[in-house]
Each structure stands twice: as structure tokens, then as C-alpha cells.
Amino acid sequence: MSRLILASASPRRRELLAEFGLPFEVRPAAIVEHEAPDADPRQMVAHNAALKADWISARHPEATVIGADTTVFVDETVLNKPRDAAEARAMLRRLSGRSHTVFTGLAVRRGADGLRLDQGVASTVHFKTLDEATIEEYLRRVHTLDKAGGYAIQEHSELLLTGYTGSLTNIIGLPQEEMKQLLTQAGLMR
């Protein structure tokens, strides 16, 4: 079985991938992600996931490499990771009382045999109407600067959400059902 490398620094992706019980290494790709607010979110996450996987695969052609990218999409606008607390507040205000879509792109590469697998996943998240006190309480409890849309569904979501449709692990950042299918196609799982 070939080495498995996760081309991501995300602790959430690391935790979700570890649940499969496969040994893997973490090697973040030294790339610049495309993050334009007016980008097509499906194309953007697919591009970024492939960029990460391709970069690591070029350096470790014998390994099976996973690239992933996740973003939040509302009002025809991509919400990536907030730059600061003020931007996180603005994102939460924008999501308040509404539904938005979370898109993840997955890319699996193995240079040695030319393996190239890609998958896109979408889920919908439904937010409560948030007042300023709730936003401040959430930001006090959760570090949001490394999270697309300025929130983490797995941390104090009772303050923010009325629910979601689709894959919870997609919203967290690594859709497990689709990931398992790709790893099976790559010959690493049954």
C-alpha cells in the first residue's frame, strides 16, 4: 500500500481522516490558494484542492495524496477565512437568519501510476437570527480566524444554527462518505 499524505494543515481534516484508521502523514502544500469573493465556489474549491494535491504529489510521486478545500457561499459571494475579528463579525451578521451553502473540493493524486480523482460536495447550513450579544459570545468561545465563513459547526453551533442539510463532515471540511469512496477507488480501503 502506498504512503498516504494529507496536503492540508487543517486540524479538523486531520481528525476526520484519522477516523478511517489509515496511517497518514500531514504535509501542507506551499501554494497560494485562489480565494476571490466573486469566484464560482465549486470551481474555486476544486482548483484549490487539485493545486494542493498536485504540488505534494509532484514531490512525493509514490504517495497517494489528498487535497481538500472548503468555502462558504451566500449572496453569490464566497466567504473564506476571516482576516480578523471584525471580518468574522461581519460574516456572522451576513449569515444571520439565512441559509448558505458549504462547498468542499477533494482531489486524490498518485504520480507513480497517474491516479487523478476529483469530487465536489455541497451541504446547506441554516442559521438562526443572531443578535450582537450572541455573535460576541460565539467569538469569545470559538477561534474563528481559520474557518471559512467565520464559524465552526462542531463548536458551540447551538448559538448559531437551526440545522443543516447534507454531510456534516463536509461542513467541517472533509466529507467522509465521498472521501471513503475516493480512497477505495485509490486502492487504500475496501
The predicted-structure confidence for 107-151, as pLDDT tens digits, reads as follows 999 999 999 999 999 999 999 999 999 999 999 999 999 899 999
Query: Look-up: residue for cell 471580518?
Result: 87
Strands (DSSP E) contained in 15-157 are 25-26, 64-74, 77-79, 99-110, 115-127
pLDDT the model gives residue 51: 98
Yes or no: say if 71 and 36 are a contact pair by the CB < 8 Å rule: no
Residues contacting 75, CB < 8 A, separation 6+: 94
Yes or no: say if 45 and 105 are a contact pair by the CB < 8 Å rule: yes
113 flagged as catalytic: no
Chain-centroid distance, C-alpha 96: 21
Give yes or no for residue 1 having a pLDDT over 90.
no
Give yes or no for residue 50 having a pLDDT over 80.
yes
Q: Which of 38, 54, 69, 118 is catalytic?
A: 69
**Domains, the chain, ranges and CATH?**
4-185 (3.90.950.10)
